[in-house]
């Protein structure tokens, strides 16, 4: 299985405290976490064609997507290409602030807006579909000590499968683990993870993302 990890890679290059958490970038942390799931490569915004020429997508079984500060800088032709690839069967795992990426909004058709508050709150990730392969081996709940809060209402179509719901110390809830099928492609959105917190170093979160990559991969 060929996994391509896409990262905007802006915060890591411009903010010391983010680089301290993710010295190899969020993409680097994810590459380490997914090393056993398949053959992993990374791609970032600043590369030519954002590192996603047709030759890369044609050779990708599942693409993970992290972006936040520079969604608008992603070229529409690259979005078109990723969109076609997903409809053709490439898996897509959209992470955290990627909910506002062009590709996620293109695939889902809604605003994908949500409520948020960044105060380093405890997040609990509850499994509501324990037999789902993406929940395999995951504790009930996953405990994340400090996280940005993402809350409802999350403006997405009703997911084809709902796997996880998060709660936050402030009392909010969020449908943070959602499966969608579009064309021949499988899409998983997973909300945990932010540039300000070491969430992608959390073993349970890594487990979920690895599970998701296997579930979403092209068949």
Q: Looking only at residues 53 through 92 of this chain, which bind a copy of itself when binding is defined by CB under 8 A?
A: 87, 89
Helix (H) or strand (E) holding 56: helix 54-58
The region of 13-21, 40-48, 135-143, 189-197 touching a copy of itself under the rule CB under 8 A is 135-143
Asked if 167 touches a copy of itself (CB under 8 A), the answer is yes
CB-facing half-sphere around the CA of 218: CA atoms within 13 A: 18
Min dist. Cβ of residue 107 to a copy of itself (A): 4
Min dist. Cβ of residue 83 to a copy of itself (A): 8
Polymer length in residues for the chain? 219
Asked if 181 touches a copy of itself (CB under 8 A), the answer is yes
Six-digit token string for 130:
């324990």
Contact at 8 Å (CB) between 187 and 180?
yes
Among 23, 109, 137, 139, binds a copy of itself (CB under 8 A): 109
Among 24, 46, 145, 155, binds a copy of itself (CB under 8 A): 155
Asked if 48 touches a copy of itself (CB under 8 A), the answer is no
Asked if 107 touches a copy of itself (CB under 8 A), the answer is yes
Query: CA 68, CA 82: separation in Å to the nearest integer?
Result: 18
Asked if 98 touches a copy of itself (CB under 8 A), the answer is no
Six-digit token string for 28:
């680097």
- List Cα–Cα distances, 144 to 28, 141, 176, in angstroms: 20, 9, 13
The region of 54-62, 177-185, 192-200, 205-213 touching a copy of itself under the rule CB under 8 A is 177-185
Asked if 198 touches a copy of itself (CB under 8 A), the answer is no
Query: CA 89, CA 83: separation in Å to the nearest integer?
Result: 10
Query: CA 212, CA 177: separation in Å to the nearest integer?
Result: 10
Phi, psi (5° rounding) for residue 180?
-135, 145
- Which residues would be at the binding site for a copy of itself (CB under 8 A)? 87, 89, 106-111, 122, 124, 126-131, 133, 136, 140-141, 151-155, 157-158, 160-162, 165-167, 169, 171-173, 175, 180-186, 219
């Amino acid at each position: 299985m060929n996994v391509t990890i896409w990262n905007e890679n802006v915060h890591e290059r411009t903010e010391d405290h983010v680089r301290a958490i993710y010295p190899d970038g969020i993409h680097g942390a994810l590459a380490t976490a997914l090393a056993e799931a398949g053959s992993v490569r990374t791609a970032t915004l600043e590369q030519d064609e954002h590192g996603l020429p047709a030759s890369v997508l044609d050779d990708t079984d599942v693409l993970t997507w992290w972006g936040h500060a520079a969604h608008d800088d992603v070229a529409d032709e690259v979005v078109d290409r990723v969109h076609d690839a997903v409809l053709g069967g490439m898996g897509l795992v959209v992470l955290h602030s990627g909910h506002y990426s062009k590709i996620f909004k293109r695939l889902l058709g809604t605003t994908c807006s949500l409520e948020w508050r960044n105060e380093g709150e405890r997040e609990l990730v509850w499994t509501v579909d324990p037999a789902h392969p993406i929940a395999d081996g995951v504790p009930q709940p996953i405990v994340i000590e400090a996280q940005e809060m993402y809350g409802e209402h999350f403006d997405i179509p009703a997911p084809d499968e709902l796997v996880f719901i998060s709660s936050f110390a402030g009392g909010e809830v969020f449908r943070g683990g959602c499966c969608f099928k579009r064309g021949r492609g499988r899409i998983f959105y997973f909300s945990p993870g932010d540039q300000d917190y070491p969430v992608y170093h959390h073993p349970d979160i890594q487990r979920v993302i690895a599970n998701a990559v296997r579930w979403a991969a092209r068949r």
